[in-house]
Structure 1
């Protein structure tokens, strides 16, 4: 691991913020690293307010979208809410359809089949709309590149409203309205909303026509917070406000579907990390193993008993998903060994029988193992489909764009993307991808990096300090949980490996005085030698709470030691 200590802010700024907020040097440093330079900035950060959300009408085409939907209400038109099969897509569809049903009964939902239709808007979905007399499709978390599909819908007299957050291509679909802040001519102040966030802005605009404010829409924010966490968008600006209030809903009065999922684990209070690791995988599992419709059904169910039944079924899909991805990851690792491609700067593997629903997870696991841009392919109809994952600092979307002559279709983000290609183009693409990455990646990006916010001493870790740190949440990209480094540590002699196969490391560390902390390092079992015989070492860690026999104490969550 590369340890990188973030640069210290200017001492004059630290002094000014420290005095303005009456906090210590470390807290002032952490805030300045997050762009918080004044009392007002800090107030907005620590006390997010729904009043800080932007006017939805600042988004390009919002007026057109609202006017077309209002016309659909007035004319009793059938509206089809269309979304992708992942967490962002299914939460978006649940959010939009739930709201629209408070205005009209003429609403249905459509999630494409991952295997039959693939990602995004499909011709089959448009045929379904045409056959069932839908005159308006609202597409969420997809559609920004669906030029041919939107044109096809127009031929059938079906209008499109697109709510997307992916990067647009050179040409924008000819829809009634395209809501996507990443359009170059959209002046919306915040560019990092997820698909469900864009959907929320649309219902915010629609509700304002009824004289409602954003406070009247908080019941939908558990869905928005789930999508923000799952889609790994920055938790800054507007996303921070939406996630903060969404978590309040998750913890106080979640919709029956989310409540039923949370009841499957023994926990009282849920963070954004819990949402990412508990709620998101279960919702995703429906689309991966069965069909995304199951997730929408769960998320829109109002009867608690039925919600529990659906949540139990979805939990079973998630258990199946775990087994499947574990098996395929093992096969992929064996294949990489067999191909003996250790000198390559990319990992590209293909097996025609791999389950399409889990190749994204497998790509993530391979990236963790070899730490290089990774693609996992499987057969999908008469084409090959792949999920791409990248390493921090390298834009895999741009790399795929540079190989587009070999690709049929692709889309996604900087760190995660999907594509399809013809089988006969696989080898040429694999080599082209390797060539592009070799020419453009900086060698240091192939070594995992830990960014350290501050170097501190153990005596700095007090209950008061931790209480302030907790208020930095919700954590995520753009506002990660603070990571600290401490030098001159010694284990008190109780350090040992714990867990299955002694994978993890448990230590009790001291610095120069009598203050000691328990540290737990998941996956650091092989570092036991570093701490043996009271050798001096440095550690990188975050701070969290652990409960043991009714007592709560602070502990170090070790990231690395050397």
Structure 2
């Protein structure tokens, strides 16, 4: 795959600012440049970014309807009304339900939780869920990570004497459900300073507000930040502002004293003796939690996260891990089928997007398959299958193409849809399938430029190898945690050569373990380049090449060393 390297440069104003900040902040000038490229231009902003503090969290009562929500919860507790915590079946939804349920069950016994079945009920608030609430005497439903568009469902609940508090982070329509409270920072009338919270993050703000109102200490809710960190990493929301603060302290909790349930998953992932990172959550912990909702029912993930001891946690984590193994096998088979179809029966040159339908594909896997297609062909991808008499789909996108808006443009022929800029879901009737495919193809053809279909690497700075000192690496570590809108900085070094110890490694010998030097160093720098064996001959011949990479701390056997993670090689 040929990447295009895009270099970020400072504006004239930023260059002036760089000189000012370099005098005031004890940080390498290259790192000052990274701050400016992240929109941080003052000493105060830099301090908040580099040294996150819980005091930087915003007042939860600034969220729309938070006052109403807390008053209704207090009323329910005071009147001994039964409360149902309701959430989506993915990582964000199940962590949110676990967090709010954990908190409220210490205050009231009249509480239950509900996760809809992906296959029988689908995404969001369901009639079956409300019927369950009616049958069990529930008077208040608190929905998390869903509900913002559930106008008819909330009305149905109200007809049965059940109030709703909606805590969501998705984009609302013009009309809001007739709930007691609709807590969502994306509301048009919101004055909340940050609107990129995860669904679990909104749940945390709810319990924070309740704690403030009832004189509880923040230390009572701080342990719940491990769940928030998992949701932020798994739901791929920006790691900026409040999310950065909660992720920072959530990771600390995950690495020091996680809940029994998360500790069970950490053990099963083989992460017990390692420093857990955002990537570990995104690629190891998150998929296992998700596997429960994909293969069986998300309620099992909540059961795990609410485990009261390690025996229970390990037992449930083993079950979840088995679901994940099943999911991986299914994922590979369906991905292979989808790739085969695109390669042999889909004229990729004539399309700027991919929309595939197969009624036999497993609904729990189609989102993963869509991601794989987007990664392989660098086009927006929608994968559809049949479920409950309707067609359900998952969409993934490339940079600068808003797949949610593209799907929204077809809403007149959809039964339901929701999501974000780069990931969305939809449901439609079978008779509307071909029209939807035609329209989406037309929208993507008009909205996607050719350069958007070429994989690109954004380069933050060009440096020589002698710049990578222990002090530089320590300063760079302050930029953690990395994630969307705060990506791990990418550096370029030109004219590097093999120091003599580079070799092919891994199964099939497709990866290169590198020892590199340039004109500024004599001691080799360690590096790893995955799936880059085509460059090996040139490197062993000591031909100079240009590399772009991120800088990692590789921990192994109690020791650590700096390693370059090569993203691309040119020359």
Q: TM-score range by the shorter chain?
A: over 0.9
Q: Is residue 553 of structure 1 aligned with residue 533 of structure 2?
A: no
Mapped to 1, the partners of 2:538 and 2:73 lie a distance apart of: 64
Mapped to 2, the partners of 1:286 and 1:96 lie a distance apart of: 20
Mapped to 2, the partners of 1:530 and 1:155 lie a distance apart of: 72
Equivalent residue for 1:309? 315
Mapped to 2, the partners of 1:155 and 1:363 lie a distance apart of: 39
Aligned to 1:500, what secondary structure does the other structure show?
coil
**CA displacement at 1:269 relative to structure 2:** 1.6
**CA displacement at 1:37 relative to structure 2:** 2.1
Does 128-137 or 333-342 show the bigger shift?
A: 333-342
Aligned to 1:188, what secondary structure does the other structure show?
coil
**CA displacement at 1:529 relative to structure 2:** 4.8
Mapped to 1, the partners of 2:94 and 2:5 lie a distance apart of: 38
Mapped to 1, the partners of 2:93 and 2:462 lie a distance apart of: 41
**CA displacement at 1:225 relative to structure 2:** 0.6
8 Å CA contact 2:27–2:475 kept in 1: the answer is: no
**CA displacement at 1:359 relative to structure 2:** 0.7
Q: Is residue 280 of structure 1 aligned with residue 282 of structure 2?
A: no
8 Å CA contact 1:159–1:176 kept in 2: the answer is: yes
**CA gap 1:427/1:338 in 2 versus in 1, 3 angstroms:** farther
Equivalent residue for 1:293? 299
Mapped to 2, the partners of 1:355 and 1:121 lie a distance apart of: 22
Mapped to 2, the partners of 1:4 and 1:351 lie a distance apart of: 38
Does 416-425 or 102-111 show the bigger shift?
A: 416-425
**CA gap 1:454/1:80 in 2 versus in 1, 3 angstroms:** same
**CA gap 1:205/1:550 in 2 versus in 1, 3 angstroms:** closer
Equivalent residue for 1:49? 53
Equivalent residue for 2:33? 29
Aligned residues: 562
Mapped to 2, the partners of 1:173 and 1:14 lie a distance apart of: 48
Q: Is residue 525 of structure 1 aligned with residue 547 of structure 2?
A: no
**CA displacement at 1:546 relative to structure 2:** 2.6
Equivalent residue for 2:547? 539
**CA gap 1:262/1:550 in 2 versus in 1, 3 angstroms:** closer
Equivalent residue for 2:416? 409
Equivalent residue for 1:503? 510
**CA displacement at 1:547 relative to structure 2:** 4.3
**CA displacement at 1:16 relative to structure 2:** 1.1
Q: Unmatched 5+ residue regions in structure 2? A: none
Mapped to 1, the partners of 2:469 and 2:168 lie a distance apart of: 44
Equivalent residue for 2:385? 378
Deviations 1:8-43 (A, max 9, x none): 252221111111112221011011112222322222
The CA RMSD measured in Å over matched residues stands at 1.4
Equivalent residue for 1:328? 334
8 Å CA contact 1:458–1:515 kept in 2: the answer is: no
State the TM-score, normalized to the length of structure 1: 0.98
1:213 to 195, 211, 217: 217
Mapped to 2, the partners of 1:119 and 1:529 lie a distance apart of: 51
State the TM-score, normalized to the length of structure 2: 0.96
Q: Is residue 105 of structure 1 aligned with residue 109 of structure 2?
A: yes
Mapped to 2, the partners of 1:560 and 1:523 lie a distance apart of: 10
Equivalent residue for 1:460? 467
8 Å CA contact 1:122–1:149 kept in 2: the answer is: yes
Mapping 1:28-427, distance limit 5 Å: 28-264=32-268, 265-266=270-271, 267-343=273-349, 344-427=351-434
Deviations 1:461-480 (A, max 9, x none): 01111111112111111211
**CA displacement at 1:493 relative to structure 2:** 4.2
Mapped to 2, the partners of 1:133 and 1:159 lie a distance apart of: 12
8 Å CA contact 1:385–1:421 kept in 2: the answer is: yes
1:446 to 453, 456, 460: 453
Aligned to 2:508, what secondary structure does the other structure show?
helix
**CA displacement at 1:252 relative to structure 2:** 1.1
**CA gap 1:252/1:498 in 2 versus in 1, 3 angstroms:** same
Deviations 1:498-518 (A, max 9, x none): 222333232222111414212
**CA displacement at 1:525 relative to structure 2:** 2.6
Deviations 1:398-442 (A, max 9, x none): 111122233221110000000111122222211211111001112
Deviations 1:271-307 (A, max 9, x none): 2221222211111011011110100000011121111
Aligned to 2:146, what secondary structure does the other structure show?
coil
Q: Is residue 19 of structure 1 aligned with residue 45 of structure 2?
A: no
Aligned to 1:555, what secondary structure does the other structure show?
strand
